[in-house]
Structure 1
Amino acid sequence: MTEKLSYQQEEDIPVDMLNAKSKLNVSWQAVFSALMFFYMYLPILVLTFYSFNDSAYSANWKGFTLKWYTKLFDDSRILTALQNSLTVAFLAVGIAAVLGTFMAVGLARYRFPGKSLYRGISYLPLIVPDIAIAVATLVFLAVIAVPLSLWTIVAAHVVFCISYVAVNVSARISGLDPHLEEAALDLGATPFQAFLKVLLPELMPAIVGGCLIAFVLSMDDFLIASFTAGTGATTLPMEIFSRIRTGVKPDINALSVILILLSGAVALIGELLRYQSEQKRFK
């Protein structure tokens, strides 16, 4: 009887009250999400705000200006450091794209002694602290007597870039039908042709996605680059760090905003490529 009464009471509740209650729950979720994102991105908002500050000191607001953005293009040290960072990133990512793809395909398609051990070792750069990689690389270069330069930074960045490309490609190749290559071989294609015309086009979105992640991380790296850089081989993060020792200036704020926008654009491109790849797979 009690259950029937409670059920009847629930039936008698107006529909408007039920809708208001559900809306209230959704609004609390929205408020919590908004607060979370506000907490996460508040430093970026403050950085962006003060990048338009007319004052040479970030703590004092004296008006709106764009001179700090235009000043960056006249700063030879910033442009040289940016050129070095782009050179390192493009070379490291290009080498890692080839080696990482072959590594992922070899681990997925072939069997050989010590495969499990090799798989674990190949992904170690993803979990090993950067300081350990930096010190190990520096010691290795000192043992083989290689002078530090821009090329030693490239070699050090290839180490962790390979792992990011390989992880993306491995995740992609695990969802592909292995019989596609067998069908190509049965139709008369050589193993290289089967890889080039059948497997590689399917892996291309994952390769590009891994390269974009590795490119952003290479551009952002400071610790490994500072340990393996030679005289005159200053990357952009190293240049920024050397300038903020005496205080953060508005031109560095402007440079940081530009880097954030470029990183966001790269992430957006990677997400669009992933989305288009998923749409093609389900068609």
Structure 2
Amino acid sequence: MAEKSFSASRIPGFATTAILVFCALYLPIVMLVLYSFNSGDSVAVWEGFSLKWYPLAWSNEQVRDVTLRSLTIALVASVVATTVATMAALGTTRRKKTKGQTLIYLMINQPLMVPEIVTAVALLIFFAAIKVATGYQGLGYLIAAHSAFCIPFAYLPIRARLEGMDKTLEVAAADLYASNWQAFRYVTLPLLLPGIVAGMMLAFVTSLDDVVITLFVKSAGQDTLPTYMLAQIRRSVPPDVNAISALLLLLTVIMLTLFFLLTRKRD
């Protein structure tokens, strides 16, 4: 008689709990998107279908400025974070295991384990000293802060891709007298590219919607789109914020879908 394997779906109440959890997670998002098409000013009373809040939000010069600033910071930070993460992944997977390697993993992934508020306060103190010493008040601090915070988000998919790659191809390249650079450029890098792109997209999304670190590090007049929306919601909930949120949600869904397609295992 064949033994029955354990299945969580057979636990009493499992289906009900799963439905409640999904409703709690996604029903507010569905409501946000729905009310971004509300013709009225109310965020609680449906007054008819309309697309007017989308062009209205984009016609706001301040919204355009903070959106461009957010995209610039996220793009530069994701490139920097992905470059550093790629080097870190190569250094931790393409070498013999040594003592202290666990400590290296811990240091790379530290921003994931430490509360973000702690990282934000530390960056505030560190950059405040630099501001006093140099007088520089530009976006460089936000870019550096986002880059540092996003490194582990880019590192994880890149490292996972490296660990899943067959090393025999690199060994074969070395046997054919390829230099380390040639083996990396023509063998390792093409195979690693999906992981790099996935890591960069994950870092981009993480930087784009960051609030806590941005609030602590930014100078006056350096609002990003999330901090601008937060400031608007503190006073009231303008309907165009729903439209902006819906567009950010769409961008995030697209990026995460591409991330899934790049990192899924292929038969």
Q: TM-score range by the shorter chain?
A: 0.7 to 0.9
Equivalent runs, 1:161-240 vs 2, <5 Å:
161-240=150-229
Please report how far the alpha carbon of residue 62 of structure 1 lies from its aligned counterpart in structure 2 after TM superposition. 2.5
Deviations 1:140-165 (A, max 9, x none): 11223353431111000111211111
Per-residue CA deviation, residues 102-136 of structure 1 (Å, 9 max, x unaligned), is: 11101111256743322211110111111111111
Counterpart residue type for residue 117 of structure 2: I
Amino acid at match of 2:109: Y
Aligned to 1:134: 120
- Partner residue of 2:5? none
1:258 maps to which residue? Answer: 247
**Offset from partner CA, 1:153-212 (integer Å, 9 cap, x none):** 100011121111111111121122223222111101110111111111111111111111
Residue in 1 aligned with 2:41?
56
For residues 7-86 of structure 1, what are the structure 2 equivalents within 5 Å? 33-86=18-71
Q: Secondary structure at the match of 1:248?
A: coil
State the AA in 1 paired with 2:257.
L
**8 Å contact 2:154–2:200 — kept in the other structure?**
yes
User: Where do 5+ consecutive residues of structure 1 fail to align?
Assistant: 1-24
Q: Quote the Cα distance in structure 1 between the aligned partners of 2:17 and 2:121.
A: 42
Q: What amino acid is the match of 2:85? A: G
Contact (CA 8 Å) 1:149, 1:228: kept in 2 or not?
A: no
TM value normalised by structure 2:
0.88
Rg larger for? 1
Structure 2: unaligned runs, 5 residues or longer: 1-9
The runs of at least 4 aligned residues of structure 1 exceeding 6 Å deviation read 28-31
- The match for 1:5 is none
Moved more, 28-37 or 265-274: 28-37
Letter in 2 for 1:174: E
Contact kept, 8 Å, 1:148 with 1:228, in 2: the verdict is no
| CA distance in structure 1 between the aligned counterparts of 2:46 and 2:194, rounded to whole angstroms | 45
- What residue in structure 1 maps to residue 3 of structure 2? none
Residues 108, 170 of structure 1: 8 Å contact kept: yes
Question: What's the counterpart of residue 139 of structure 2?
Answer: 150
Describe the SS at the equivalent of 1:256: helix
Percent sequence identity over aligned pairs: 39
Residues 1:109 and 2:94 aligned together: yes
Question: How far apart are residue 242 of structure 1 and its match?
Answer: 1.0
Across the aligned residues of Structure 1 and Structure 2, the Cα RMSD in angstroms comes to 2.1
